[in-house]
Structure 1
């Protein structure tokens, strides 16, 4: 795809009024298509207690996708580390890497990926982990992935991470602002700036600063401060059709982020009708959110992505597309790939 690599972040949205079990199979089918189209990576997100998104166990979906594809790199975008033992996460992803050497990525984030209730349930019978623990969890995860030898006085000094003898996954951190760059840089981890989360401006200085602070580590870490951006993109035959398709996820975000209602993804025509009944401030947020999504013809989307990649000085862009129709979503990724291959 020319000089710019295209990758996918999949939130496993529920399409066409189907159920979440169908949505997981849609993810498998979309990943197979992405593999055929030449996409570089396919990352699976993690969400809990969210009717619109089906992937609550990305590590299981990753294994299924890797087994059903040939060359595309597969990973998490991301595992919400605050819920889990770093040792267990390391073992899970080393197991995946043993089955699929050189193809597994481990992207992690600090967000809960769900409601307060789901965070409490995930931690039960203990209390949810404080965000203050995240740097220590990430440090431990990195050590376990790299088979780092702890100092003798450390409680993990005699511990090994199994399975041994295989490759290790690439480690990445995810962030929607500059909150994680010092941590990622100091630990020698790759960094993904999630532009599709929120509508606020993100300066190119975020990635410049990350690279300036980056200190490489031994092992399988990305070198030279590897960075990517992740953008919401919907491509269609016309700009008008792409904006129409984007209405489904835009309306969902209005309800989720302004009212805490995590409902299903509705058809775009329904969402445009419901949007007219929103308060003026919610309507303003609707338009602000839709404007943050790259929409247009394939060539228009390519131009905008290349512009973003140049601004942030990255050579890989992860693309997020959520539509009500699964076929329209596949078509968007298909058209985008063709635009970059033309």
Structure 2
């Protein structure tokens, strides 16, 4: 099983938002030799917590400052953009790091409805065009003909090259699984986003309806989980307090920067909030590294996935780097020089 990283450029209370972008780049450099397979960055808009808005720019920086990792998007929210422009962006990225670029695609807005319209006045219509846009994007990315009699059939995405980005469909519903299966593309389910709800069904549908393609004769299924490891369970739970407090806010529709754990633990919680936090701690992949690694392996085996990505939030950036280092060791990833 290949193990990868998803980074979301999380805003931390008390630090400028730009630091989150720089932390993403530094984390990729830190993890480049740890044995992780991919390093993906997400796309969100007008979000006070997740401030990575332009994955194509961040991918370029990461790709030129790393050597081993595949680097990509998780994902580009395609309804915001013209497929040709996305193809051109990722052809340029592939020229910067040939054979190391991934193009993960999503249909969700990664934002609220008003922001979606600010990004694209056709926000209501574009999601329905997602399959057609994927087909066009596949052709342009790989330098292949578009559909017969296509109005843009003579248009090409430059620069051309011997390699091309590897395309993925990402999702948290059955729809993405069906699109990925139809086009014979790899598929990753956002397990962390739904707490696993619907994940196994989506993976099953993907495998059962998969149509083999030239580049991917067999299905390639993955999931992304939230995990935090430390030397001890107490240390991990301490740093998780920031995430738990954030999840309480999220339950109320509030999206705020991540509090330091000392601040998060200092709130006067109600009995209901304490019960919610206890449930979050019970189900989260948080603890001493050997135990977290065991839970990751068990989930991967149960779902039968080929790849698994890990996303981690902490207010203390060193704690996040340490978590990825510890999990790489416990999961037996190959250290690269």
- Equivalent in the alignment of 1:320: 311
Quick check: 2:9–2:24 contact (8 Å CA) kept in 1?
yes
Q: Does 2:332 match 1:336?
A: no
- Equivalent in the alignment of 1:212: 208
Which runs of 5 or more structure 2 residues have no equivalent in the other structure?
A: none
Please point out which of 130, 133, 157 is paired with 2:129: 133
Quick check: 2:21–2:52 contact (8 Å CA) kept in 1?
yes
Q: Does 2:115 match 1:118?
A: yes
Quick check: 1:16–1:326 contact (8 Å CA) kept in 2?
no
Structure 1 residues 68 and 151: alpha-carbon distance in aligned structure 2, compared to 1, 3 A threshold = closer
Q: Does 2:194 match 1:201?
A: no
- Detail structure 1 runs of 4+ shifted over 6 Å in the superposition: none
Please point out which of 224, 227, 235 is paired with 2:221: 227
Structure 2 counterparts to residues 1-342 of structure 1, below 5 A: 4-15=1-12, 17-124=14-121, 126-202=122-198, 204-218=200-214, 221-256=215-250, 258-274=251-267, 276-277=269-270, 280=272, 284-341=275-332
Quick check: 2:172–2:199 contact (8 Å CA) kept in 1?
no
Give the SS at the match of 2:154.
coil
- Distance, in Å, in 2 between the alignment partners of 1:20 and 1:203 is 32
Aligned-residue CA RMSD (Å): 2.1
Q: Kindly state the Cα deviation for residue 203 of structure 1 after the two structures are TM-superposed.
A: 5.1
- Distance, in Å, in 1 between the alignment partners of 2:111 and 2:267 is 24
Count of aligned residue pairs for this structure pair? 333
Q: Kindly state the Cα deviation for residue 17 of structure 1 after the two structures are TM-superposed.
A: 2.3
Quick check: 2:75–2:104 contact (8 Å CA) kept in 1?
yes
- Distance, in Å, in 2 between the alignment partners of 1:200 and 1:313 is 14
Structure 1 residues 316 and 150: alpha-carbon distance in aligned structure 2, compared to 1, 3 A threshold = closer
- Distance, in Å, in 1 between the alignment partners of 2:86 and 2:257 is 29
Give the SS at the match of 1:341.
coil
Name which of structure 1's ranges 184-193 and 287-296 shifts more when overlaid on structure 2: 287-296
Q: Kindly state the Cα deviation for residue 321 of structure 1 after the two structures are TM-superposed.
A: 0.3
Quick check: 1:77–1:108 contact (8 Å CA) kept in 2?
yes
- Normalised TM-score (structure 2): 0.91
Which runs of 5 or more structure 1 residues have no equivalent in the other structure?
A: none
